[in-house]
């Protein structure tokens, strides 16, 4: 990675971002997926026809996601299909939390976007940096639990399996909000307040973004974040 090309510089920065977020970044020949809670393996070969993942992310000893690295200035939206292809190409003999792998990143080392495949309708979003392994582990373990009111035996018989339903992600939970309480005791919400709250809940459930919005703004993107930062 020391050849000075734009791609090499991007990967060096991505290495720093991953390390700052608590990942142990390793070359394939030195791989030890149990060396840390989160391990990022560079240049990982996948099944025939799926290419080579720039980084394969292991969480607690099982594959959980991929990172597609691009040079600075590249349009990240244009490579989402490549990341998705990587997520489907993990050899069957290797341990994984789910298949396809749920966590997809595209990054130039300056801009990073993320897709949570556990969401009901996964879509990419910009993020300041990479999530910590502990955060991904929390999401994976929460999503493996049966939905509220469903016993483990019933969950095992569900099609598709309950762990793929994304019932415990933020976007899933906002679609199952309890009925809004508009009156209690001598207090009552104004009609305008009720409308505002319901509109906000509906917008969150649709994962709607303002047209033309860009987050985080370029001026606010730290490079790189401190090792103690979380996303």
pLDDT at 176: 74
Spatial separation of the C-alpha atoms in residues 154 and 110, rounded to whole Å: 45
Q: Are 138 and 91 in the same domain?
A: yes
Predicted structure pTM score: 0.73
* Within a domain: 195: yes
Whether residue 71 is found in the same domain as residue 156? yes
Q: Please compute Rg for the chain using Cα positions.
A: 20
pLDDT confidence band for 211 (50 / 70 / 90): very low
Instruction: In whole angstroms, give the CA distance from residue 62 to residue 165.
Output: 20
- Tokens describing residue 69: 């690295």
Average pLDDT over residues 169-186: 82
Residue with the two structure tokens 């917008």: 203
Average pLDDT, the chain: 83
Q: What is the pLDDT of residues 93-152, one digit of tens each?
A: 999 999 999 999 999 999 999 999 988 888 899 998 899 999 999 989 876 655 555 566
* Cβ 106 vs Cβ 70: under 8 Å: yes
* In-domain check, residue 66: yes
Q: Are residues 20 and 32 in the same domain?
A: yes
Residue among 44, 64, 47 nearest 55 (CA) = 44
Asked if residue 104 and residue 67 are part of one domain, the reply reads: yes
34 and 107 housed in the same domain: yes
Give ∠ CA 143-140-30 in degrees, rounded to 5: 160
Residues 109 and 71 in one domain: yes
129 and 191 inside one domain: no
**Rounded CA gap, 124 and 143, in Å?**
19
Residues 192 and 84 grouped into a single domain? no
How many structural domains does the chain have?
2
pLDDT at 205: 78
Is residue 99 one of the residues assigned to a domain?
yes
Q: Is residue 191 part of a domain?
A: yes
11 is a domain residue: yes
pLDDT at 66 over 80: yes
DSSP codes joined into one string, the chain: --S--HHHHHHHHHHHHHHHTT-EEE-GGG--TTSSSEEEEEEEE-STTS-EEEEEEEETTEEEEEEEE--TT--GGGGHHHHHHHHT---TTS-BSSSS-SEEEEE-SS-EEEEETTSSS---EEESSPPPHHHHHHHHHHHHSPPTT--HHHHHT-SS-GGGS-TTSHHHHGGGPPPPP-EETTEE--HHHHHHHHHHHHHHHTT---TT--SS-GGG--SSPPTT---
**Which domain, by its residues, includes 206?**
179-210
Confidence of residue 173 (pLDDT cuts 50, 70, 90): confident
Whether residue 189 sits in one domain with residue 146? no
Assigned domain for 231 exists = no
The pair of structure tokens assigned to 66 is 């991929």
Could you tell me the sign of the dihedral formed by the alpha carbons of 110, 116, 119, 121, in that order?
A: positive
Q: Is residue 216 part of a domain?
A: no
Looking at the structure, do residues 165 and 185 belong to the same domain, yes or no?
no
Statement to judge: residues 70 and 115 lie in one domain: yes
Q: pLDDT grade, residue 165 (50/70/90)? A: very low
- Tell me, what's the pLDDT at 178? 82
Q: Is residue 222 part of a domain?
A: no
Shared-domain flag, residues 99 and 203: no
Give the CATH number of the domain where residue 48 resides.
3.90.1570.30
In this prediction, residue 177 has a pLDDT band, given cuts at 50, 70 and 90, of confident
């Amino acid at each position: 990675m020391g050849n000075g090309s734009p791609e090499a510089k991007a990967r060096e920065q991505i290495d720093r971002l991953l390390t700052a977020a608590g990942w142990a970044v390793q070359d394939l020949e030195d791989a030890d997926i149990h060396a840390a809670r989160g391990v990022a393996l560079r240049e990982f070969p996948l099944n025939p026809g799926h290419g080579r993942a720039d980084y394969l992310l292991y969480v607690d000893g099982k594959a959980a996601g991929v990172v597609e690295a691009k040079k600075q200035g590249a349009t990240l939206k244009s490579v989402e299909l490549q990341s998705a292809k990587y997520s489907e190409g993990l050899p069957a003999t290797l341990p994984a939390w789910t298949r396809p792998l749920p966590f997809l990143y595209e990054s130039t080392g300056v801009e990073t976007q993320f897709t949570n495949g556990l969401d009901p309708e996964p879509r990419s979003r910009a993020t300041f940096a990479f999530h910590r392994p502990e955060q991904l582990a929390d999401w994976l373990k929460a999503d493996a639990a049966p939905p509220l009111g469903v016993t483990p035996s019933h969950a095992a018989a569900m099609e598709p399996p309950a762990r793929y339903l994304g019932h415990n992600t933020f976007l899933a939970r906002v679609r199952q909000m309890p009925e809004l309480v508009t009156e209690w005791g001598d207090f009552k919400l104004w009609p305008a307040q009720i409308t505002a709250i319901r509109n906000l809940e509906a917008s969150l459930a649709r994962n709607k973004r303002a047209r033309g919005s860009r987050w985080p703004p370029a001026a606010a993107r730290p490079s790189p974040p401190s090792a103690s930062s979380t996303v």
